[in-house]
Structure 1
Amino acid sequence: MTRLFGTLPRRLAALFLLLLVSGGALLAGIQVSLTRNYGNAVVQQLSAGLAQHLVRQYPRLADEGMAGEQTRALFNNLMAVNPNVELYLIDPQGMIINDAAPPGHLKRQKVSVEPVTAFLHGDPFPVYGDDPRQLHGQKVFSAAPFISQGKVRGYVYVILQGEHYSALHAMAWQHNIGVMVAASLVLLLIMLLILGGATFHWVARPVRALERRVRQISLGQPRVTVEAVPDTRSMTQELVSLSQGVTLMEAKIASQWAELAQETQERRAFLATVSHDLRTPLTAIHGYIESILLLSDNLSDEEKRQYLEIALSESRKVSQMAQSLFELARLEYGVITPDKTLFSLEDLVQDVMQKMTLAAQTRNQRLQVEPLAGLPVVSADMGMIERVLTNLLDNAIRHTPEGSTIAVRAWPASDNMILEVADNGPGIPPEKRSQLFTRPALLKGESLSRGGLGLMVVHQILQLHGSRIELISCPGACFRFTLPLATQSQSAG
């Protein structure tokens, strides 16, 4: 059963068929009832005066009715002329006084006089009275009182559609019922085909189109083009809303799919670049150590020491790169969050500058700190901001020529503290500035040169603080970022 009505068109067709059959049966019943009442009303209207005519034609009908035989003979003659009618004499209480029914055909000896009274009072036709030849049946009739000595002694009661009429009517109905059923089935089939076609056009076809689109989305194949937008002119308002919702969902999924594909491509290229930059120092380490082992007898102590120093220097590069990768991964995936505290920027800058002094002196560079005394405290994660300053200074030391000057500046502005790390080196090429702090800067087969992992870590840390790193125009390279100042309530606390 589930498989038979598993699709929407089949269920709609079954529903329409059920509605048509039930509605057709109901309408047929109403039509038959109305037709029967109308026909009976017409028959009763045409023959309403029949009983009164008999009373006028046979004024001694009551007296003769008491005797019975003459009245019965009269009834038989009248019924022979008009076989459709059946005549009875009843008393004022409805008891049957005389009749011409064949033996065994009379099923009850008394009929209700209420319909007779209603008929004589002129109630609207049809008025149904008890049929003496049926235990529970009612038929249209004609009735008239017969009066003797100013007193109603009974009624002439004429059933207008007797047994003979009922038999002929049943035969005609049985003959025509097959034709009526066949005609009804043909009409029902035509209506079903029309409704089915309309349903398929207005409902099933658009729903199937939406189903195909949703199936494509579930298979990871969203397609949003001008040609893919469905024609909504033949849809109902509900289907239009549903189609628009599917289109928006499809567009969003397609956009996310493209972003995911782009991100996947970037990650693969990034890993390839990182692998290349890791392989270079590892190859150098491996080469120098292998040389010491293989050529130990031919190398002087000074050469051995030189080789070991080079290997140690390269191992520091690998260690620094691995640390930066680990830190970048934790920042990108939200493993760590800022633990904001209030601290003095002056003390932090002095500590970082002291830590980087030796590296700068090695390259004959000068670190310069503009006066920071009297600056207000800031609200940030001190460890993360220390990492930001360290990465920026390390980046400047490594990529600025010997003899250059590297300066750190800070000043308050509104509710923020502005910090700059600047050098007077050659600066950064314009083509690399737009993507200096993001992974796409590493996707063209270049090594992790100026920018690289250190600036990506800086970018992620400042994003977590609601800030961002900028490269501004100045001689050399100048990096600027902001930190929020401590509020009065925070300072008081």
Structure 2
Amino acid sequence: MKSMTLYQKLAWSLVLIFSLLCALVLNWSKQLEQSSVHHAQQNLHLQLAEHLVHDNPLIQQGVYDYKALENLFHTLMILGPAFEFYFVDPEGHLLTYSAKPGQVVRQQINLSPIQQLLDNPTATPIYGDDPRSNDGVKIFSTAPVYNQQQLQGYLYVIIGGQAYDTTLKNIKANDNLWLAAMWFVAALVALFIAMLLLFRFFTLPLKKLNKELNKIEAANYSLTKMSLDSSYTADDEIGNLSKGVNAMLARIDEQFQSLQQADKQRRELLTHLSHDLRTPLSSLHGFLEVINKPDSHLNVPEQRHYLNLAMDNCQQLKHLIEQIFELANLECGQVKIQSETFNLGELIYDCVAKLALTAQSAGISLRVIPEICDFTVTADIAKLERVLTNLIENAIRHTPSGGEIAVKVSQQSDQLYVAVSDTGVGIHEDELNAIFEPHYQARNSIKRGSTGLGLAICKQLLTLMDSEINVSSTLGKGSEFRFNLAMQAPA
């Protein structure tokens, strides 16, 4: 079964509450009206019974002839059909009355209301037993009847008797009263319709928002296919809800796009890894297979040559795996910085000395500018050495024989700028931002054992040290990689 909408729930709730309130108001107004009428009538006829007792000799001298008294009551009812007359003894038993035979169903009444009205006439309305009903009550007028100062009973006059009720009921059925009731009902219906329209107006933004969310859900929460309508921008609860849903969906879409990009990068990384690992493994397998052939008839120098090639491929494979793990740790945030204060010039000369033989064998000269490089910095010395080594090795790989590599240090305010420049092949302008991506290699790069991970590792390490690396290059003339370090203030 389909569940009700918010508007339907509010509408039905309004119907139930409205109906209950109408019933309560009508019942309360009816009771209030009846109480007011009874109060007025009882006050108006409060001394009726007393006047009848004092003005009628038959009652004033004591009642002995109940038949004559019955005829008197009958005569009085003809003159006042809205009244019913009863004479009761001091115990509440009905002695005589004005009703026809069979109309009186109660032969004794409770005297407590009579005594209450006699003691406190201002406490109206006070209701006494209706002899014509087993459980009904009516307003009344009463007076005690004495004979030689001895209580004979009470004259008990019902105000608004059965004849009165019948006549009043017929009057209420009059067309004018029905017309008034119809106008009252029409006013209530108009109010009800107005309330429904107000509920409709208040819940319409929620309905629109729900409709838009259903469309987003149908589009698999992709904002590229469907965008949320943010036309409702009122500064209220629904407006804030709409803005919050917009922000939440934008954030979900951003994370979804990020996950898609991460998945794409993961697939590309696996592709690059399989390719990078396959090359040295295939070479290593080939050289070992040549050496292991029983009919190869290789002499000792040839065997040593193939073993050296196999060792080179093992070393390249080891280096590649180490870089892969290093980059993975950096991207996962598992690498911590351990800062210390040291001399930057000494570190640069150590890195240059470590790679001097490699540069010399490639016909490339290495130098430090300025030669006296005496600067003190606070950083992670091991990671900074890794950055300088990667940048110098990268420059050696992309610089042809006869070229030059320079490590330059300059000071600007409280910052030191370290630059590694070369006179190599340079980088295309459209590739300057892409070279820091893992496994990316420029189109014109000279591959000398490159894995394509060195620059990516450099960028991650410098980011951890709150530094930024930039590159400038001229195609065919060389490149320069530059990063900043905070200079240690002199003691």
Interval of TM-score (by shorter of Structure 1 and Structure 2): 0.7 to 0.9
Is 1:158–2:157 an aligned residue pair? yes
More moved, 39-48 vs 456-465: 39-48
How has the CA–CA distance of structure 1 residues 18 and 5 changed in structure 2, closer, same or farther, with 3 Å as cutoff?
Answer: farther
Indicate the SS of the match to 2:453.
Answer: helix
**1:451–1:419 CA distance, 2 compared to 1 (3 A):** farther
Q: Secondary structure at the match of 1:452?
A: coil
CA distance in 2, matches of 1:44, 1:236: 60
Q: Write the distance in 1 (CA, Å) between the matches of 2:441 and 2:411.
A: 34
Alpha-carbon distance in structure 1 between the residues aligned to 2:472 and 2:7: 65
SS of aligned partner of 1:478: strand
Match of 2:101 in 1: none
Matches within 5 A, 1:103-122: 104-109=106-111, 111-112=113-114, 115=117
In structure 1, distance between residues paired with 2:365 and 2:185: 103
Whole-Å separation in 2 of the counterparts to 1:239 and 1:440: 49
Measure how far apart 1:4 and its partner are: 10
Structure 1 position 349 matched with structure 2 position 351: no
1:100 aligns with 2:77: no
Can you list the C-alpha shifts for 1:372-405, whole angstroms capped at 9, x where unaligned?
6463421111111110011011111111111211
Q: Which has the higher contact order (CA 8 A, sep 6+)?
A: 1
Contact conserved, 1:51 with 1:142, CA < 8 A, in 2?
yes
2:431 and 2:442 in contact (8 A); partners too? no
Indicate conservation of the 8 Å contact 2:472/2:480, yes or no.
yes
Cα distance change, pair 407–246 in 1 and its aligned pair in 2 (3 A) = same
1:297 alignment partner, SS class: coil
Structure 2 residue aligned with 1:176: none
Sequence identity of aligned pairs in percent?
29
Query: Paired residues, what number?
Result: 469
Counterpart amino acid of 1:456? A
Deviation at 1:7, TM superposition (A): 7.6
| Residue 251 of structure 2 is aligned to residue 256 of structure 1 | no
Higher mean alpha-carbon deviation, 450-459 vs 361-370, is at 450-459
**Structure-2 separation of matches of 1:241 and 1:406:** 60
- Consecutive unaligned residues of structure 1, counting only runs of 5 or more, are 174-178
> For residues 94 and 127 of structure 1, do their structure 2 counterparts lie closer, same or farther at Cα, with a shift above 3 Å needed?
farther
Counterpart of 2:462, as a letter, is L
| Structure 1 counterpart of 2:84, from 83, 86, 89 | 86
CA distance in 1, matches of 2:119, 2:235: 59
Shift of 1:201: 7.4
> Where does 1:369-380 land on structure 2 (aligned, <5 Å)?
369-371=368-370, 373=372, 375-380=374-379
Cα displacement string for residues 227-259 of structure 1 (whole angstroms, at most 9, x for unaligned residues): 5426649x9943332222112111111111112
Which sits farther off after the overlay, 254-263 or 128-137? Answer: 128-137
TM-superposed CA distance for 1:287, in Å, is: 2.5
Q: How does 1:113-132 map to 2 (within 5 A)?
A: 115=117, 127-131=125-129
Distance 2:111 2:252 in 1: 86
How does 1:326-341 map onto structure 2 within 5 Å? 326-341=325-340
| Residue number in structure 2 paired with 1:477 | 479
Q: Equivalent residue for 2:323?
A: 324
Secondary structure in structure 2 of the residue aligned to 1:436: helix
1:63-92 Cα distance to aligned partner (Å, 9 max, x none)? 24444634443123323565542235799x
Q: CA deviation at 1:429?
A: 1.7
What TM-score comes out, normalization by structure 1 length? 0.75
Change (3 A) 1:423 1:105: same
Mapped partners of 1:75, 1:4: distance in 2: 70
Q: Measure, in 2, the Cα distance between the counterparts of 1:299 and 1:268.
A: 43
Consecutive unaligned residues in structure 2, runs of 5 or more: 99-103, 173-177
Relative to 1, partners in 2 of residues 1:196 and 1:306: Cα closer, same or farther, differing over 3 Å? farther
1:60 aligned residue (51, 57, 60): 57
Structure 2 Cα separation of the partners of residues 443 and 343 of structure 1: 35
Deviation at 1:481, TM superposition (A): 0.7
Cα distance in 2 for residues equivalent to 1:171 and 1:5: 48
Q: Secondary structure at the match of 1:386?
A: helix
CA distance in 2, matches of 1:451, 1:406: 21
RMSD over aligned CA atoms reads 4.9
Q: Secondary structure of 1:477's match?
A: strand
On the 8 A contact 1:418/1:481 being kept in 2, the answer is yes
1:292, distance to aligned residue in structure 2 (A): 3.3
